[in-house]
Amino acid sequence: MWFGERWITSVFDLFEENVRYFPPLLPEIKDFVEFRAADAPKLFELNLHNGTVWRWNRPIYNSGDGGAHIRVENRLLPAGPTPVDMVADAAFYYGLAEFLVGENRPVWSRMSFAEAEENFNACAKDGIEARVTWPKIGRIGVADLVTDVLAPQARRGLSRLNIDKDVIDEFMSIIEGRAESRVNGATWQLQALESLAPDSRQDSPERAEGIRAMMDAYLANQATGKPVHTWEIPTRG
């Protein structure tokens, strides 16, 4: 999963990076007449190539019947594990994006790309226990950053988007609850496995049984639809 190389000024920068760093291997042969006759160019080869480059936030060019458009495909929604968690993730993302782009000095003008990449790698490695760098704050635990800074900003962004206060409270409380409890899908799985198969060796039958029991409990909790930070940790019966 590629994070990128720098802050960009245009979406075209992303497609240019694709060609620079990931040269295409095979062409897709299409009738040039179809290209010329279209209301918007189909750009078959660009889309084929773009589909092979896995960015964290990937631009998508679509020239469908409704007219051509460009959108951003990001990776946050599948994090789940329940629908309510996914909606909370979306609320957090879009509320925070709305707030940040409206600042007089956007965060990307106050943070180097190297710092952003370091933050990304730290969160990928350490998850909710990661420490990151943030403008005017310096080094801070990512959970504390969420509760103290980002969640309040996301709430303000959602208000600007005319989202009802009750809806904002419902979904942002899930984000805040995760951060305060330090529990998300990954940490729940680790804690459950430790409870079900403590001190077991990596290749032992006890660990294999613990993983099966953990997954059974995970699926049962997922079926309730309750946010993951409210799930109880299973114990050996």
Say what the pTM is.
Answer: 0.85
Answer whether residue 139 is part of any domain: yes
Q: Are 45 and 124 found together in one domain? A: no
Residue 1 domain flag: no
Residue ending a domain, among 41, 74, 107, is 74
Based on the domain organization, do 26 and 53 belong to the same domain? yes
- 26 is a domain residue: yes
3-state SS string over 10-57?
Answer: CCHHHHHHHHHHCCCCCCCCCCHHHHHHCCCCCCHHHHHHHCCCCECE
Q: Which helix (H) or strand (E) holds 140?
A: strand 138-141
Q: Which two tokens stand for residue 171?
A: 């979904």
The answer to whether residue 236 sits within a structural domain is no
Please report whether residue 237 resides in a domain.
Answer: no
Give pLDDT tens digits for 134-147. 999 999 999 999 99
Q: Are residues 98 and 20 in the same domain?
A: no
Which two structure tokens, joined as six digits, stand for 31?
């009738």
* Close Cβ partners of 93 (under 8 Å, ≥ 6 residues apart): 74, 76
Q: What is the pLDDT of residues 125-174, one digit of tens each?
A: 999 999 999 999 999 999 999 999 999 999 999 999 999 999 999 999 99
pLDDT tens readout for residues 4-56:
889 988 888 998 999 889 888 776 666 555 555 556 777 888 888 888 888 88
For residues 82 and 165, state if they share a domain.
yes
For residue 92, what are its two tokens?
Answer: 């957090």
Residue 9 φ/ψ, nearest 5 degrees: -110, -10
Range of the domain at 61: 12-74
Based on the number of CB atoms within 10 Å of its own CB, is 191 exposed (0-12), middle (13-18) or buried (19 or more)? middle
